Amino acid sequence: MVARVVVAAPSSGSGKTTVATGLMAAFTEAGLAVSPHKVGPDYIDPGYHSLATGRPGRNLDAYLCGPDLVAPLFAHGSAGCDLAVVEGVMGLYDGAAGQGELASTAHVAKLLRAPVVLVVDASSQSRSVAALVHGFASWDPEVRVGGVILNKVGSERHEELLREALDSSGVPVLGALRRAPQVRAPSRHLGLVPVAERRGEALAAVAALASQVRGGVDLEAVLALARSAPELSGAGWSPCGAFPSPAPSRNRGSAPDPGGGSPVRVGHAAAESALRASSSNAGRAEISSPDGQGPPDDSDGRKPPVVALAGGAAFSFSYAEHAELLAAAGAEVVTFDPLHDEELPPGTRGLVIGGGFPEVYAPELSANEPLRKAVAELAGSGAPVAAECAGLLYLARELDGKPMCGVLDATARMSERLTLGYREAVAVSDSALVGVGTRMRGHEFHRTVVEPGAGAAPAWGLHAPERRVEGFVQRGVHASYLHTHWAAEPGIARRFVERCKA
């Protein structure tokens, strides 16, 4: 099993992303194959992780996917790597509201049997740091806090006081980082600006983080801690093996282990192709198997259906497993950039538009009238279209007064109110993704409003925080604010691809 360590903190804003990304980059530069992971549903931090490691950033969310899938998804993502670095979410023990430890960093650390490095913002304390660390290290005896990294240290004297205070805590100090404003990534209404929008600057920031971590952290001690993690039992997740019954494989890559053991290699190729396309303005990219071949023809001679996957700066939010599942279900997945491409990929039979920031690029998206018309025509033909959050806005009639695709009779606008949180949902309309009654867990994260909030055939009925219907189902279109993780319900990908073939 791969060496692994979880980077956590007492609270948000302590420097988890700084330390985790810096560790990933520093170890990668040292020649290790590093697997990057993020606890929770966040899409933005994994983009920086990917830039640091050259591998897809993968989420580990015990709420969206269930606790039983955390270790298998981790094994899938980290296969063949020397080290896995897992960035936590919020404070170490903060999880899904009202549900105890569920989906917290501590919960995931226990599921992975991984040691924890606690990142502490030491900017306004000295001796009190020992009490803070003692509390976090002793709160849950099943969580092993194996070291502390002191962040935002003011001076050499400040560092001496902090280290002296922690000498008797039993938790070793693995490093101390001084304040370094030059490596801060810019933020806006939903957090950090995604890598896809600032690749050059992001590369420089990641390089600076690596340098900062190399200079202030004992990398050998961190690696030794990661290597102390015990073996994980159980098989790794596999895109092909995830389906309830065998599906015809469209990939020329390695086949899954008959027992579901090691993940298919083509999955990583699909995710890496999607990563390259979504984190740059390179435009269209075909997601294929490692030998560069596309999926083989069906046994009856038909070409596999092309599923267009939106990427680029405006639509950079997507879980790596979605592209892998679509490919495993028999699709030829081709990414495109709605900011630059004026046509959908040739032969498109289905369209997936994930999350992102269309509100930032509304004028540019609106100006690409040929693509807007192509999307409207595809949706009008009854082809399957899956749209989450940003995709919902793009399919609306207008966004902040700018014409969009007009697939949905709805308008969208920016709002001062942040809508954020996990949701429990049940499908209330039959669609290209799910049948009526399918239960899913998802999350919302946006500062926009769509009016009306639901169509004549809503997509979901939500149970919490209040009961309401949400989203739109019309012909082949399923559009909603709800972000879901298809690994929790892989039949979504198979159903979608089968509708593409029809």
Quick check: 164 and 130 in contact, CB under 8 A? no
Token pair, residue 446, equals 């946006």
What token pair was written down for 101?
């430890």
Rounded CA-CA distance 388/170 in Å is 46
Q: Say how far apart CA 58 and CA 35 lie, in whole Å.
A: 9
Two tokens, residue 385: 């279209």
Active-site residue numbers? 389
Q: What is the CA radius of gyration of the chain?
A: 23
Q: Residue 85 and residue 20: Cα distance in Å, rounded?
A: 7
Please tell me the distance from the alpha carbon of residue 140 to that of residue 339, in angstroms, as a whole number: 48
Q: Is 375 within 8 Å of 341 (Cβ atoms)? A: no
Place of tokens 């005896």: 141
Q: How far apart are the C-alpha atoms of 266 and 292, rounded to whole Å?
A: 10
- Cα 146 from chain centroid (whole Å): 26
* Distance, CA of 46 to CA of 347 (rounded, Å): 31
Looking at residue 142, what DSSP letter applies?
Answer: T
The two structure tokens encoding residue 175: 């490093």
